[in-house]
């Protein structure tokens, strides 16, 4: 049972991991992108649209490569576009980040649910619902021998490729931020854009690139959710509040993507732990689902009280940068 619990926790955690890794990269540039939930919806639905169109045009015979490639590219493009909208408004036009982010979430969730509900009608298809089991099967493919390796295989090797992508991306992001020159530059943009500017760093370019890349990564979380977790079935609002949970995870992992790997599994576990505690009433389960948020608040309060400088949000988070000219 513990093995199954861990497996489910990981699967719950992967979309959060994608989301939080993307948001960490974004926040490190000083952009507090509250549009992440919307972006994850768009990442999911773009993949769905891609897969839907491909499944229809290919008839019954799907090319395994294309079946993965097309939804993936669609998802990436969709989320990147969302990131661009956010950047254009907040970086180029210096709009308020909170308002822009919330509008982006409204917009993104709207896009997701709209196309999710209307795809069938728009295309005039006679399919009863969007059910992309075929595509999903390709996404869900895991190592064939995983099950033969007992608990080890189940805990570590039983997941689909996107899950490993999530972990690899988080590790790379962590390495990028900590060990590379560009990562250093990016962090300086989020901490003190004026300093970065004076050092010859193109502040706006860093904000744009990191926010768009961050959006793409977050969008993959949406794709993973539909294609893998939900077995290719899109249901409106099915993704729920996972986007906000991803934002919470950023705080929980104090802006460190590698901590976010563990954090996501922990959050995933907290989300489903009520299923594994015997004798729990339905109502109590709801209290358990509160845990990730409570834990996040505790972390937030704790870090602000402790005032350890490394664990604070990037110093210029939420502020637009404008080089005053004389």
Span 56-75, contacts to other proteins by CB under 8 A: none
Q: How far apart, in whole angstroms, are the C-alpha atoms of residue 321 and residue 176? A: 23
- Residue reference for tokens 């899950």: 163
Among 213, 223, 210, CA closest to 161: 223
Helices 203-224 & 242-252, crossing angle to 10 degrees? Answer: 120
Angle at 23 between CA 73 and CA 195, to 5 degrees: 115
Asked if residue 89 binds other proteins (CB under 8 A), the reply is: yes
| Distance (Å, whole) CA 203 – CA 196 | 7
Residue 128 is given by DSSP the state S
* Residue recorded with tokens 């982006």: 104
Selected from 12, 24, 167, 187, the binder of other proteins by CB under 8 A is 187
Q: List binders of other proteins among 106-135 (CB under 8 A).
A: 106-114, 116-118, 121-122
Q: How many CB atoms lie within 10 A of CB 47?
A: 33
Please select the residue that binds other proteins; options are 198, 205, 235, 275, rule is CB under 8 A: 198
b/e per residue 235-260 (b: at least 16 CB within 10 A) = eeebbeebbbbbbbbbbbbbbbbbbb
Q: Is 185 in the site for other proteins (CB under 8 A)?
A: yes
Quick one: which segment of 6-14, 85-93, 166-174, 210-218 binds other proteins (CB under 8 A)? 85-93
Binding mask 300-319 for other proteins (x = CB under 8 A): xx--xx---xx-xx-x--x-
CB of 50 to other proteins, least distance (A): 18
Total residues binding other proteins (CB under 8 A): 80
**Residue-wise DSSP of 26-88:** HHHTT---TTHHHHHHHHHHHHHHHHHHHHHHHTT---HHHHHHHHHHHHHHHHHHHHHHHHI
210-249: contacts with other proteins (CB under 8 A): 236, 241, 244-245, 247-248
For residue 205, state whether it binds other proteins (rule: CB under 8 A): no
Q: Any contact of residue 294 with other proteins (CB under 8 A)?
A: yes
Which span (1-9, 58-66, 133-141, 196-204) binds other proteins, by CB under 8 A? 196-204
Name residues whose C-beta falls within 8 Å of residue 86's C-beta, 6 or more positions apart in sequence. 31, 33, 35, 100, 101, 104, 211, 215
* Interface with other proteins (CB under 8 A), residue from 94, 123, 125, 175: 94
Q: What's the min distance (Å) between Cβ of 112 and other proteins?
A: 8
Give the footprint of other proteins on residues 155-184 (CB under 8 A).
Answer: 179-181, 184
- From the CB of 36, what's the least distance to other proteins, in Å? 11
88 or 151: whose CB is closer to other proteins?
88
Closest CB to other proteins among 80 and 103? 103
CB of 81 or CB of 165, closer to other proteins: 81
């Amino acid at each position: 049972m513990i093995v199954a619990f861990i497996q489910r926790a990981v699967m719950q955690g992967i979309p959060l991991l994608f989301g939080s890794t993307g948001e960490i990269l974004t926040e490190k540039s000083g952009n507090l992108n509250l549009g992440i939930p919307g972006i994850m919806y768009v990442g999911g639905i773009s993949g769905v649209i891609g897969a839907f169109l491909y499944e229809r045009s290919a008839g019954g015979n799907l090319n395994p490569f294309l079946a993965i490639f097309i939804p993936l590219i669609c998802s990436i493009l969709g989320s990147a576009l969302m990131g661009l909208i956010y950047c254009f408004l907040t970086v180029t036009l210096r709009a308020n980040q909170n308002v822009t982010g919330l509008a982006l979430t409204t917009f993104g969730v709207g896009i997701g649910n709209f196309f999710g509900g209307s795809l069938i009608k728009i295309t005039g298809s006679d399919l009863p619902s969007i059910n992309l089991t075929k595509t999903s099967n390709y996404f869900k493919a895991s190592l064939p021998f995983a099950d033969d390796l007992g608990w080890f295989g189940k805990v570590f090797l039983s997941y689909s490729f996107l899950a490993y992508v999530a972990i690899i991306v988080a590790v790379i992001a962590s390495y990028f931020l900590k060990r590379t020159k560009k990562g250093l530059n990016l962090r300086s943009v989020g901490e003190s854009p004026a300093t970065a500017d004076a050092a010859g760093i193109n502040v706006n370019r860093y904000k744009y690139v990191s926010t768009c890349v961050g959006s793409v990564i977050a969008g993959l979380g949406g794709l993973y959710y539909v294609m893998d977790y939900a077995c290719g079935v899109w249901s409106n609002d099915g993704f729920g509040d996972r986007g906000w949970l991803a934002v919470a995870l950023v705080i929980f992992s104090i802006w460190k993507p590698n901590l976010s790997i563990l954090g996501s599994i922990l959050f995933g576990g907290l989300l489903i732990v009520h299923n594994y505690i015997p004798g729990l009433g339905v109502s109590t389960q709801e209290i358990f689902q509160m845990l990730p948020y409570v834990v996040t608040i505790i972390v937030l309060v704790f870090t602000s009280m402790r005032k350890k400088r490394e664990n604070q949000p990037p110093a210029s988070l939420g502020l637009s940068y404008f080089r005053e000219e004389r």
